[in-house]
Amino acid sequence: MNAIPTLDLADFTQGDSAARKRFTDALGQTYQDIGFVAIKNHFLSPELENRLYAASRAFFALPDEIKIKYYRPEIGGQRGYTPKGQEHAKGRNVGDLKEFYHVGPELSPERLAELNYPANIFPSETPDFGPSHVEAFYALENTGRQMLKSLALYLGLDENHFEPHVHEGVSILRSIHYFPIEDPDSVPEDAVRAAAHEDINLITLLMGASAEGLEVLSRNGQWVPITAVPGCVVVNVGDMLQRLTNHKLVSTTHRVVNPPREKMHTPRFSIPFFLHPKPTMSLACLESCIDAQNPKRYPDATAGEYLTERLIEIGLVQK
């Protein structure tokens, strides 16, 4: 399983009808079986990825008293900085060993007010942080939108079914710093970089992280290390898509484990893109995914209602 299937997005975006169908069939089957796939020929260039990581490293190297200026707990950390140990996995009280920074869509003040979205917050101390993250946001969003077009066809929907929902949705680009631990005895015994969890959103796009640590729970209950595929982004199903498809497409449990004790002093950087729809999108299970063998599993809910519920569960929003 650690050899994640690799698909070529160009087969879908530039190929003929036969190539598009092969891509769509393979993508859908992989998401039913595993929930993770590596995608090449996406829209994030190596040059932009390098800029992005350089800007992320520069910000997280700043003193805590500077970083905390960009913390906005009143909006659940949906923009700006979230400090160390603030977020935890669902069902846990111990905070993850990480800090992170959120960037959303870059829209006009008037459009943000219409959508009731918070504005982005960019650190003045690292001038390329904002430009690199906004450019990467839209490169990854474009990649994700093409993936959703393919999945719509796989589900028997119109190719553009997801488009009105994800255009100007509440997607998030998250720069994560799994900070070094100089004294492993100073942290709670069961604290980890990212405890076992499933992502909340429709799909997540992850470029290569700076160190190993990502593990996926296989169908037979084994944790399997996943290594980055050079030149690819790894794309996995989130809980919203699993809910919408009544578990036809699977949101796979994954985690980021601590390195060996002798390497706890080394940092890890990771920058996932969480593709979210507008809050008004219905997550009611698709009728085509409900039958006698797979009855409807969830009550109807909007994406906004479900997102709020999950943000409370992981400690980013207070009841």
What amino acid occupies position 36? F
**Given a cut of 50, is residue 154 above it in pLDDT?**
yes
Band of pLDDT at residue 188, cut at 50, 70 and 90: low
In the prediction, which pLDDT does 229 show? Answer: 77
**What residues have CB less than 8 Å from 230, skipping those under 6 apart?**
208
Task: Please tell me the pTM assigned to this model.
Answer: 0.90
**What residues have CB less than 8 Å from 163, skipping those under 6 apart?**
145, 148, 149
In the prediction, which pLDDT does 156 show? Answer: 96
Question: Contact 42/232 with Cβ under 8 angstroms?
Answer: yes
Burial 135-173, CB ≥16 within 10 A → b, else e: bbbebbbebbbbbbbbbbbbbeeeeebbeebbebbbbbb
Question: Contact 275/166 with Cβ under 8 angstroms?
Answer: yes
Q: What is the Cα Rg of the chain in Å?
A: 19
Tokens in use for 84? 């160390």
In the prediction, which pLDDT does 268 show? Answer: 85
Q: Which domains occur in the chain, in start order?
A: 45-141+170-313 (2.60.120.330)
In the prediction, which pLDDT does 93 show? Answer: 54
In 107-217, alpha helices (H): 109-115, 129-154, 163-166
Lowest mean pLDDT of 62-76, 88-102, 156-170, 299-313, name the range.
88-102
Which residue did the predictor score with more confidence, 101 or 261? 101
Tell me the average pLDDT of the chain: 89
Question: Contact 240/284 with Cβ under 8 angstroms?
Answer: no
In the prediction, which pLDDT does 1 show? Answer: 47
> Facing residues of 286 across strands?
none
Distance of CA 257 to CAs 216, 266, 270, Å? Answer: 11, 13, 13
Which residue did the predictor score with more confidence, 257 or 52? 52
